[in-house]
Structure 1
Amino acid sequence: MAKLRKLVDTREGREESVMSTQEYIRKVIEDVGEDDDFTRKPWLSAIDYVNVDGGIVTSCFGDVKKFLKNGKLEQIVVVIKSCTPNALGDLTVTLKDLSGTISGTIHYKVLTEERFAKAFTVGSTLILHNVSVFSPKQSTHHYLNITKKNMVKVFHKDGGSA
């Protein structure tokens, strides 16, 4: 029997529904249509990892406003769309999930860890938890501040993981 998975579906206004992993994957593929970021091996491997671990993806960028009170996204799975080193040694990134994109910074201490040294490339998928959300005053833009404590797993573009 397929393991059941809770899925919080804020786009359709439902509080929660329960579906099998196979139904969840099928729904994800249907929802993304032409967007192949969500049909590539790193994304699918990350979703499988979360599922096998018994976890639930509880946040998405569409939920950012909901999380501004406590300033954190509980658990998210994201694809790196762009990454550029900055003058402080951090990595400035654009991240994408099923609900959209958001900018962020990966702290330099994450980049110095051997297991992550070459993991952050365009197309890699990250599983993150308890990620701080920064929103400047009078702004509708939100940014993620990613540290070592936020890193769960990285799935490389080439299929490996860290």
Structure 2
Amino acid sequence: MMIRKGGPADVQAVLGMFDSAVAWLTERGRTGQWGSEPFSTDPARIESVSRQAGEGGMRIAEVGGEPAGCIVVGAAMPYVPSPVEPELYVQSLVIDKRFAGQGVGAALLGWAREEAAGRGVGVLRVDCYAGDDGNLVKYYERMGFSRTLAFKVGEWPGQILEMRISRDAS
């Protein structure tokens, strides 16, 4: 697996990753996280992925030369409380369902942890969907994050999690 910097040329591949995740969730009746419509047909989601691709915090994991997952890091999202100390925030993480179970998410989160340490920040934060069976929150806990604050955006239930970073781990 290789992790490389992402950019505008990756927008279609990342939209495809989201589309595969949405289809997988929809097949299981779990539309609360991202809805049931493909990201690639939603102008607001296309704009969001395009903006993130141009901001410098996007990384793409490739498996066998194919884009398999994407992480975007940067500043905290506007709907969560501001950080109380310097941090790196996982704004987005998505894995193409064709590559599920191959450690793509863990590798991308490992890259983010190393990036935070390299920047000398003490915390890596992420928020995620906390509805349904809570499996997404449990996933982040297995990856070394701890729950900090539950929140809602409208009716969407979210959970903020954080990972303490050793500043000498870089």
**What band does the TM-score fall into relative to the shorter chain?**
0.3 to 0.5
Higher helix proportion: 2
- The normalised TM-score by structure 2 is 0.34
